[in-house]
Structure 1
Amino acid sequence: MTMVARQGPEFEIGSFEFHGDTVTVVTNEQGSWAVLGQLCQNLTLDPNGQRQAIERKAWSEGKTCVMHVMLPGQSRVYPQFLIHERILPMWLANVTTSRIADEGKRLKVERAQVELADALYRYVTDETRRAVPVPKSREITAAAGPVPYREQAEILSILRPVLPEAYATATGKVIMARVMGERPELESSETPLYASTFLAEKGHKPKTVAKFQSGFGSRVSNRYFKVHGRRPGKIPGPAGSRIDQVAAYTEDDRPILEQVYQEIADIIDDFEGGGQLRMSA
């Protein structure tokens, strides 16, 4: 669903440079928004196709809007499709770079997948760059979450007993780094890794990931149990187009996922090639 963003005296348009390209940010009482058409132009992606892909995702509910704005270089306002800062990382993560034949364009998109969300976050939280003062009653939420950092830390403290230790430690480091204006740096034992994102990293199509992530995840969980004598902890994470309780692995567990993947890679490739092979856990 596309929502209509409210416009008023606190409406603000700004921009920042990202590797030579301009990224326009529209900010109102609901948060900060990026212009999808401009981002697609910067990354040589099809804006109509990307908009349709976004609107099909459950995570875009209430996080897109159409607003009349005038972008740099334009002489009048035009309706622009905007995506909220909170879903920009999800959108970029769902762009399949293996389909981009041109190496230069593919590398540009992959660089945006790694760096653009952090660049937008720094822009949104940098109060010194604003030409128009923001009323004190208005709070801009960062990509880290919808509540102030102090409250995030308090919530983490309350929930820590029921969270996997690696996840709790990583989350605490992220909160601290962003409070200090730094980029979070995590050890491999703290960096989250999910079965679905692992399959996506292999260049598989979204429908392939959706079909195989459950069976693949079950096999990985079983192998993890054989190695560690216990099941992996679970946290809210990506499960297709929704957020669900998923097994929480870390980069230290990647060898297990790689081992299991090699055992079923032919089955997955056959499915993508039009075959109908089935995989059991």
Structure 2
Amino acid sequence: MHPGANAKNPTNLVPVSVPGAAPIMAVQQDGKEWASVTHICKSLGIDPKSQRRKLHAKSWATEVMMTLVADDGKEREMHLVDRRTLTMWLATIDAGRVAPEHREALEAYQAEAADALDKYFHSGGAINPRADEHQINALLRQAQMQMELCQAARGLIHEDHLEAKARIVLARGLGETPELEPATRPLYAQDYLAEKGLSDRQRKAKAGVFGKRLKKAYIDRHGREPEKYPLNLSNGQVRHVNGYTEADRPLMDEVWSTYFGEVLA
């Protein structure tokens, strides 16, 4: 494990486009590029924990744990590997062990990941200070359109969620870390379950029951149903789910400890 594990001043993960696959979430620290293992694993439908254990056992692997700002504006400790390790690790993933619907993405990562990181961090890209004028104008226009969508969504989406989204969009356009009020940060039930270290199978098995019990607990406490938030799915679709914020974390903790505190099977 790399000695510079925890960054004192969290920075943003940035999406690095890879043709034929979901973007690599990456960051540059001290002149070196680092890629999130967890995000790639989720894109490929493989278990991040088992891949992390595999990397720990490799003498050639250079890894770090960094506290970074995720896509939703929250700070999380994340497992990352450097560019060289990324290439070698991806080469060890057998396409035969990946679900058929993810094999094309795996092949794209194996062929394009290293070049994508190089092009982004050394030739300019999304919030990269080396971006050329055309790229900057395109990014500013994208941010403007997203802010216009946020404005149009007033009255349709919970105000706390809408404000958080707008702050994230604005921060990206400025190349800064979003300033979010902790208590109003959106907290999806599925993200809460992911923080519990559940495998994909365990999370899917518990998500429905946890969501129902959480909704009931919320109604009992507040006398109304939770409002809806838009959730961006990995396939690009948007699904509206019950909306909670960091202020509801204690309630989630209560539901978890009451109904799911047992040792996981």
TM bucket normalised to smaller: 0.5 to 0.7
CA contact (8 A) 1:239 1:246 kept: no
User: Is the CA contact (8 Å cut-off) linking 1:125 and 1:140 kept in structure 2?
Assistant: no
Residues 197 and 19 of structure 1, relative CA distance in 2, 3 Å threshold: farther
Q: CA RMSD in A?
A: 4.6
1:129 equivalent to 2:140? Answer no
Query: Offset at 1:192?
Result: 1.1
Task: Say which structure, 1 or 2, has more relative contact order (CA 8 Å, 6+ apart).
Answer: 2
In the alignment, which of 219, 230, 252 is matched to residue 225 of structure 1? Answer: 219
Say whether the 8 Å CA contact 1:37–1:47 is kept in structure 2.
Answer: no
Structure 1 residue 189, shift from structure 2 partner: 2.5
Query: How far does residue 226 in structure 1 lie from its aligned partner after superposition?
Result: 1.0
TM-score (norm 2): 0.56
Q: Is the 8 A contact 1:235 1:247 kept in 2?
A: yes
Q: Is the 8 A contact 1:40 1:47 kept in 2?
A: no
Cα distance in structure 1, aligned partners of 2:157 and 2:251: 22
Q: What amino acid does structure 2 have at the position aligned with 1:209? A: R
Distance 1:219 1:5, change over 3 A: closer
Match of 1:246 in 2: 241
Query: Is the Cα–Cα contact under 8 Å of residues 170 and 190 in structure 1 kept in the other structure?
Result: yes
How far, CA to CA, are the matches of 2:202 and 2:89 in structure 1? Answer: 22
Asked if 2 retains the 8 angstrom alpha-carbon contact of 1:65 and 1:83, the reply is no
Amino acid at match of 1:254: R
Question: What is the identity, as a one-letter code, of the residue corresponding to 1:251?
Answer: E
Q: Distance in 1 between matches of 2:94 and 2:154?
A: 37
Q: Which runs of 5+ in 1 are unaligned?
A: 7-14, 25-35, 68-78, 89-118, 274-281
> For residue 199 of structure 1, what is the aligned residue in structure 2?
193
The partner residue of 1:41 within 79, 85, 88 is 85
Cα distance change on mapping 1:217 and 1:137 into 2, 3 Å: closer
Give me the TM-score of the superposition, normalised by structure 1.
0.53
Secondary structure of 1:186's aligned partner: coil
Equivalent positions of 1:123-162 (< 5 A) are 124-126=125-127, 128-130=129-131, 133=132, 136=134, 148-162=142-156
In the alignment, which of 173, 177, 183 is matched to residue 189 of structure 1? 183
Q: Which has the larger radius of gyration?
A: 1
Candidates 209, 215, 218, aligned match of 2:203: 209
Contact 2:150 2:166 survives alignment (8 Å): yes
Using the TM superposition, give the Cα deviation of residue 48 of structure 1 relative to its aligned residue in structure 2, in angstroms: 4.0
2:254 is the alignment partner of 1:259 = yes
Deviations 1:58-109 (A, max 9, x none): 8x79977638xxxxxxxxxxx6243999xx9xxxxxxxxxxxxxxxxxxxxx
2:162 aligned partner, one-letter code: A
- For the residue of structure 1 that corresponds to 2:212, the secondary structure is helix
CA gap 1:5/1:189 in 2 versus in 1, 3 angstroms: closer
Aligned residue type for 1:129: R
Give the match for residue 93 of structure 1. none
Match of 1:82 in 2: 113
Change (3 A) 1:50 1:228: farther
Q: 1:187 and 1:37, CA in 2 relative to 1: closer, same or farther beyond 3 A?
A: closer
Distance 1:82 1:173, change over 3 A: same
**1:252/1:128 Cα in 2 relative to 1: closer, same or farther (>3 Å)?**
closer
Over the matched positions of the two proteins, sequence identity in percent amounts to 23
